Amino acid sequence: MKRTVLSRYPFWLCCLPLLLLMGCARSEEAAPSPTPDVEQATPHVVHIVGTPEPTPSPSPEPTPEPVDYLGQRVSDNLLAQMETLQLVSFAGSIDLYPEASTSSESTTLVNRTTDRSISDLIVLEEVTSPEGKLFYHVRAAFTDATGYVLAKDTRNSKLALSGVSGFALMIVPGCSMMKSPDEESTVLSQESYHAARILGLYRGFYYVITEDGNRGFVKPDQLKLIDKATLETYLASGVFPAAESPFDIENLISYAETQASVASTEALIYDGLSRLGFYMNPGYYQFFQKELSDLTQYPIGYHEDVYNSSLFKLWNSCGNLAYYEGQPTQWLHVARGAKLQRGDLLFFAEYGPGDMAEVETYEVVLRGPDSGYITACGIYLGNDSMLWVKNGAVEKVEQLSASPLWQFFDSARRIQPEVTDEKANLLESIISSSYDRLGTPYNNFCRMGEVSYDCSGLIGWSLRRAGATQIRSGGKQFRETTASGLAHLELLYYKGQTLTLKYVSKSSGDQASIPLLQRGDLIFLIGETQPRISHVMIYLGNMRVIHSTTVTDFYRGTLVAGFRPELQQLYTNAVRIEMDDD
């Protein structure tokens, strides 16, 4: 059979003036594809912009002031202006003075945030008082407190003695700042795709201050060391032109239709969104790269560059990765079969007959719809037509549903400049986090090891990264929760709201409730040999799930699978996350 190739062009962001080149190159040869069920009609293709005749250059319009989304705030938090940091420490408590004089009234500074063995101070300058006493002008490494301390009250820093320091970028989303250098310690905060400053190494953990000003102990494998020049490039990538008008999806379409030479559709979309005021987190869209060549970290068929491409990142976007006017945005998931709207972003997943492997009771989906292996995208124009870029030219595809493209349609995203559905936003953030972990190995000895997971570890990590916690204060955040433990959770907390977890079925094992499942439900299975809850998965819709599991030595880790009848026989129930206003 003849295989239809959706796209064969490099995916990178050359259209964005401040984003680095990224993406993946596709091979020129293609194997046969399945014949689509729809009629093989040739779509009517219209070139939107041809080669224009030379015209006189118009008078330049005033350039709007750029918006710096990183800038001084991040530079200050990281003390980027200081090439090296002098660190001192103290035991118990220390007197902090507002000026370099013991005659002023002091306050008592105590480390109540992190491990008290690391009560460090960052020395900003040395000052000798009129009385001849040496003071350090300091900023606490564990709070925002600043002031002056007597040099004689300090001691050598354990962090400084480690000889480890510098800047870093987070290479694991949801990077956890721990209270102590211990994997079971309390999670103080989480950040994704941000920069950090390493103050030192203690008991195998880096102690860091992040661009948001958070502090804590981080496992070294969550960070990538960078030099000052890379940090400066990162800071510069946060500068975007100010939007000339409020965001409207029609403005995005109008911009796209006026472009002539563009590298790819995703580059066109990124550039159009940024010009209209969207801030695309550069730590994710530009700098975040998975170590796909690491066969230990990605052991099962997820080594292709598509998972680092700008196209995959656009498909996997959620509201906490793209901001408008400083606030999270909504990226609603539009499933196959749902009614499309003008302005929806369409995504396609090319696949062949050998890309879906049936192994024992599993249907492992390495390619195709819901797999995450995204090969093309477009902007829906309505009236069964789409705008996309092919071979560098902007084209309009008409009769889309009758074209060979349509058999590979994966899903669509509907962008809104503000979050209008908090529940949908939370669920898509959870699912996006899980997709980011595709291929990471299964490990039931360390349920949530940041780079390896068991079934409940993946779910707990995704909940935590999305901002949901088990207790209101957020201190206990799914460190070692089992599948059975997740099945018996009744409440979660998210952005000050109480989330209720409700069973889909009133009785355990009721397979009649399986057709009632919704995207984002947590599905629980009993063991094949023991009648107790032993596995949990996230339902994606269309009888597909994403989970961390062991099928064979080859299919072992976070993967997408079909919810086949053999697995449905083990179904015990599903839990649905509800909000107070549902």
Q: Is the pLDDT of residue 14 over 60?
A: no
Query: 274: pLDDT confidence band, cut at 50, 70 and 90?
Result: very high
Dihedral sign computed on CA atoms, order 351, 367, 36, 337: negative
Rounded Cα–Cα distance for residues 245 and 272 (Å)? 13
pLDDT value, residue 30: 38
Q: Rg of the Cα trace of the chain?
A: 26
Rounded Cα–Cα distance for residues 475 and 478 (Å)? 10
| More confident: 474 or 119 | 119
* CB proximity list for 38: less than 8 A, separation 6 or greater: 401, 402, 403, 406, 407
Q: Is the pLDDT of residue 5 over 60?
A: no
Q: How many other CB atoms are found less than 10 A from the CB of residue 360?
A: 10
pLDDT value, residue 126: 97
What's the average model confidence in pLDDT over 29-53?
Answer: 45
What's the average model confidence in pLDDT over 390-399?
Answer: 94
**Helix, coil or strand: residue 568:** helix
Per-residue tokens: 505? 């079925």
Q: Is the pLDDT of residue 270 over 80?
A: yes
pLDDT tens-place string over residues 88-100? 999 999 999 999 9
pLDDT value, residue 467: 87
pLDDT tens-place string over residues 560-577? 999 999 999 999 999 999
Q: Is the pLDDT of residue 531 over 90?
A: no
**Helix, coil or strand: residue 438:** coil
Query: 396: pLDDT confidence band, cut at 50, 70 and 90?
Result: very high
CB of 299 closer than 8 Å to CB of 366: no
Helices (H), 363-495: 422-436, 455-466, 483-487
What's the average model confidence in pLDDT over 166-172?
Answer: 94
* CB proximity list for 257: less than 8 A, separation 6 or greater: 48, 49, 387, 394
Beta-strand pair 556-562/362-365 = antiparallel
Q: Find how far residue 342's CA is from the centre of its chain.
A: 26
pLDDT tens-place string over residues 181-195? 988 888 888 899 999
Query: 552: pLDDT confidence band, cut at 50, 70 and 90?
Result: confident
> Mean pLDDT across the chain, nearest whole number?
87
Q: Is the pLDDT of residue 164 over 50?
A: yes
Domains and CATH numbers, the chain: 44-50+241-420 (3.90.1720), 86-161 (2.30.30.40), 166-236 (2.30.30.40), 436-579 (3.90.1720.10)
**497-503 β-sheet, strand order:** 356-359, 362-365, 556-562, 544-550, 533-541, 522-526, 571-579, 497-503, 491-494
Q: Where are the beta strands (DSSP E) in 231-361?
A: 239-240, 278-280, 322-324, 327-328, 330-334, 345-348, 356-359
pLDDT tens-place string over residues 75-91? 999 999 998 999 999 99
pLDDT tens-place string over residues 342-361? 999 999 999 988 888 888 88
Q: Is the pLDDT of residue 29 over 70?
A: no
Rounded Cα–Cα distance for residues 71 and 234 (Å)? 10
Residues 187-214 as b/e (b if ≥16 CB within 10 A, e otherwise) read: bbbbbbbbbbbbbbbbeebbbbbbbeeb
Query: 4: pLDDT confidence band, cut at 50, 70 and 90?
Result: very low
By CB atoms closer than 10 A (0-12, 13-18, 19+), residue 84 is exposed
Query: 438: pLDDT confidence band, cut at 50, 70 and 90?
Result: very high
pLDDT tens-place string over residues 121-133? 999 999 999 989 9
Phi, psi at 299, each rounded to 5°:
-85, -10
Q: Is the pLDDT of residue 45 over 80?
A: no
Judged by average pLDDT, the poorest of 261-265, 293-297, 460-464, 504-508 is 293-297
**Helix, coil or strand: residue 433:** helix
pLDDT value, residue 407: 94
What's the average model confidence in pLDDT over 309-326?
Answer: 91
| More confident: 267 or 17 | 267
Rounded Cα–Cα distance for residues 170 and 281 (Å)? 13
Rounded Cα–Cα distance for residues 320 and 461 (Å)? 16
What's the average model confidence in pLDDT over 192-221?
Answer: 96
Query: 451: pLDDT confidence band, cut at 50, 70 and 90?
Result: confident
Q: Is the pLDDT of residue 50 over 70?
A: no
DSSP state of 131: T
Residues 41-71 as b/e (b if ≥16 CB within 10 A, e otherwise) read: eebeeeeeeeeeeeeeeeeeeeeeeebebbe
pLDDT tens-place string over residues 15-25? 433 333 333 33
pLDDT tens-place string over residues 368-381? 999 999 999 999 99
Rounded Cα–Cα distance for residues 442 and 445 (Å)? 9
